[in-house]
Amino acid sequence: MAKKLIRFDWAMKKMLRHKANFGILEGFLSELLEEEIKIKQILESESNKETEDDKSNRVDILVENSKGELVIIEVQNSKEYDYFHRMLFGAAKAITEHIKEGQAYAEVKKVIAITIAYFDLGQGKDYVYHGTTVFKGIHKHDILTLADKQIELYKKNNIHEIYPEFWVIKVGKFGNRVKDKLDEWIYFFKNAEIKADFSAKGLKEASERLDEMKLNEKDAKEYKRYLKGLRDIASQQHTKMADAQDLINKGKEDKEIEVVLEMHKDGVSTKTIAKYLKITEERIAQILENQRNK
């Protein structure tokens, strides 16, 4: 039986910032990036500044790995149409805040921005997307590469290793069919559970450290408040969507009435109007009756 664990985003807020728990984040990053990742330190990020009225829709953490790269991990719970823009802003902000005045551009830090999205970001069939910068010739269709001297100076083999790269994990698109070790992590993100046969790096430690039953009384109460905040956000979004649909339907209804009255005024028969608008003759009679009673 799978053990019920606390959500990864709450763990990021409260537990994964402690050095003793670095192994959990290191495991996830190692499986995603397919290389051994070691965390050097946790850096300041917006969600470090907790407030009592935290709306719980977003949690982020900024880490520096042993290679000096900056890794942003962000969990987003609610839909934002400009989220791609915010991903870009976050990467750019990390770059500018971590280069000292007067340093050469060669000192710009590599940024890896990872979004774990609990809403349907963009349009696509997959549940994991990876974006890098590639310069492609418009005539020869070749890929621009680094010169030998640049490779020697900057210890990079490809241009895309200099530029920020982006990962998007769309949790809702994941169908719970686990095919590899990264899928084990995504299963955990979606279900807050880790199955006994999972073997991805970091998950064993996560299973031990993130057991909901092991929370002290203070953290347990705070976690319940956090979950309530997520439910409130989901409820608010549902209400907004329902209201928007009502407005759309009202607009359709107003247009329908307008067309019926216009066609009737032009002498078109009720039967023809019904056929044209694909509505019943009874509906047309009701519209005309309402208009007469105004």
Closest CA to 59 of 92, 14, 4: 14
| Per-residue confidence in pLDDT tens, the chain, 294 aa | 666 788 898 888 888 888 989 999 999 999 999 999 999 999 876 544 544 444 556 789 999 999 999 999 999 988 888 999 999 999 999 999 999 888 999 999 999 999 999 988 999 999 999 999 999 999 999 999 999 999 999 999 999 999 999 999 999 999 999 999 999 999 999 999 999 999 999 999 999 988 876 888 888 888 888 888 777 777 776 676 666 666 567 777 888 888 888 888 888 888 888 888 888 999 889 989 888 887
Pairing of the two strands 165-170 and 111-117: parallel
Give the 3-state DSSP-derived string for 81-111, with helices as H, strands as E and coil as C: CCHHHHHHHHHHHHHHHCCCCCCCHHHCCCE
HSE of 16, CA atoms in CB hemisphere, 13 A: 29
Q: How far apart are CA 68 and CA 186, in angstroms?
A: 26
Burial class (CB in 10 A: 0-12, 13-18, 19+), 152: exposed
Predicted structure pTM score: 0.75
Q: Mention every residue, 6+ apart, whose C-beta is less than 8 A from residue 140.
A: none
Query: In one letter, which amino acid is 2?
Result: A
Order of strands across the sheet that contains 58-65: 39-43, 58-65, 70-76, 111-117, 165-170, 128-131
Give the 3-state DSSP-derived string for the chain, with helices as H, strands as E and coil as C: CCEEECCHHHHHHHCCCCHHHHHHHHHHHHHHHCCCCCEEEEECCHHHCCCCCCCCCEEEEEEEECCCCEEEEEEECCCCCCHHHHHHHHHHHHHHHCCCCCCCHHHCCCEEEEEEECCCCCCCCCCEEEECCCCECCCCCCECCCCHHHHHHHCCCCHHHCCCEEEEEEHHHCCCCCCCHHHHHHHHHHHCEECCCCCCCCHHHHHHHCEHHHCCHHHHHHHHHHHHHHHHHHHHHHHHHHHHHHHHHHHHHHHHHHHHHHHHHCCCCHHHHHHHHCCCHHHHHHHHHHHHCC
* Res 225: pLDDT: 85
* Res 59: pLDDT: 84
Enter the tokens of residue 218: 């203070």
* Res 259: pLDDT: 86
Closest CA to 260 of 252, 249, 248: 252
